[in-house]
Structure 1
Amino acid sequence: MPLAAGHRLHVVYRTFADDNGTDYLLHHPDWDRAELLARDDGHFMGPGLSWPEPVAAADNALPGGSTTDPNTRLLLLLPAFGDDEVPDDAVGRLVVALRARTGVEAPEPLASAVLEDQGAPGPARWTTAGHGFSLNDGGYSFRNPANRFAMPADRLSRVATALAP
């Protein structure tokens, strides 16, 4: 999924016999490596995205990737999201995506439940205080500098810059 300034979000489905899951990566051609934002498998890691980040990526209308449809893009990125400050219009935005791309008969209660529980990581608090770029307090997040497995500060900064809405 293309982002501004040549960045790309990749949703990688692993289907190996003993290693299936989904990886959410961010990359730029000038970087030496892709940054793992979240992983959805038996050992979930995340959240990797605050609510404004997948919405901005879904709605940016940049060509490229497997789809340019904003509803599909949002649903693809949703498992990597976790945010305790979801705006009031988030349910409506998710309902539109669910109606457009699923056969769910009652998308409103599903959207509300998804945004309330937010999957494996649950909601995380996002802040820029003290760093100048977005970080969270998720116990399993690569974007939480308190975690021993978090990205170093320079990589956290470039990730936040690339994902800025």
Structure 2
Amino acid sequence: MLEIAGYEDGPLVDGSGFLDLPLFWPCHLGSGLVGEEAQEAALGPDWDDAQDLCSRMFDAEEWPVFTVGLRSGHAVHVVYRNREGDRGVDYLLMRPSWQEAVTLAVDDGHFRGPGLCWPELASAADQAAPTGVTDPDARLLLLFPMLGDAGVPESAAARLASALAALTLAEDPARLARLLLRNQGQWESANWTRRDGEWICDGSHSFRDPSNAFALTPAQTAAVSSAFAADPDR
């Protein structure tokens, strides 16, 4: 059984078996499918099957975990926190030497985010990793719900569409990519800046906005930016 500090009460299980199911991805990206147009673009005629799969993903008896390793030695754990009455998806940054993980984003009714800017997301997707999820498209879509970036480059839509074409049943991946980028998560898209080499944002619900009372500590902020080591020109 997997173990992550703070989740000792959860039956954590390896979620990698879901990754080969095309309907997993619209379920995972669900908080960004705002409105009927986006839901239709993602699910088409497969709404009922997707609902059944989502029920499995949020089963209280098993909490699926997906791990995206980074070349810095850190790893992002995507945890389906399936507590009765408190279900959601947590995005955690961890390093073997740490006693506890740093929470980057929380996708639930009391959401926190964004957790990543586009350069960090693109960098994490394309890094080779010896463990965890290795496919770049799967890495991109797993971490995409953390995104909240008002300044995504024009190339982002094509990169996202390519991943959606490879892994989902969407009939028009380019259209779905545009809709997902238009509605990034439950939070408003934030403006990101580099301060002394560290990425920070102005998102009022984000751990990475230093002005928020619940923001990461300066040491955590530095560790997160170092972990992703993102090129601002991506």
| Aligned equivalent of 1:6 | 73
Superposed displacement of residue 151, structure 1: 0.9
How many Å separate the matches in 1 of 2:98 and 2:185? 30
1:110 to 166, 176, 181: 176
| Aligned equivalent of 1:97 | 163
* AA aligned opposite 2:93: L
SS in 2 for 1:90: helix
TM-score for both structures, normalised by structure 2? 0.67
Structure 1 segment 73-152 matched on structure 2, within 5 A: 73-129=139-195, 131-152=196-217
Superposed displacement of residue 63, structure 1: 2.1
How many Å separate the matches in 1 of 2:187 and 2:226? 23
Superposed displacement of residue 32, structure 1: 2.7
TM-score for both structures, normalised by structure 1? 0.94
| Aligned equivalent of 1:158 | 223
| Aligned equivalent of 1:70 | 136
Superposed displacement of residue 115, structure 1: 0.9
Superposed displacement of residue 86, structure 1: 0.5
Superposed displacement of residue 132, structure 1: 3.3
- Matched pairs, number: 163
SS in 2 for 1:91: helix
* AA aligned opposite 1:148: A
Superposed displacement of residue 59, structure 1: 0.9
How many Å separate the matches in 2 of 1:63 and 1:13? 23
How many Å separate the matches in 2 of 1:108 and 1:28? 35
1:99-131 deviations in whole A, cap 9, x for unaligned? Answer: 1111011111111111122121121111123x4
How many Å separate the matches in 1 of 2:149 and 2:90? 19
Q: For structure 1, which runs of at least 5 residues remain unmatched after alignment?
A: none
SS in 1 for 2:69: coil
1:27 is the counterpart of 2:88 = no
| Aligned equivalent of 2:55 | none
Q: For structure 2, which runs of at least 5 residues remain unmatched after alignment?
A: 1-67
How many Å separate the matches in 2 of 1:136 and 1:42? 22
Moved over 6 A (4+): none
How many Å separate the matches in 2 of 1:91 and 1:48? 19
1:38 to 84, 96, 105: 105
* AA aligned opposite 1:32: Q
* AA aligned opposite 1:79: P
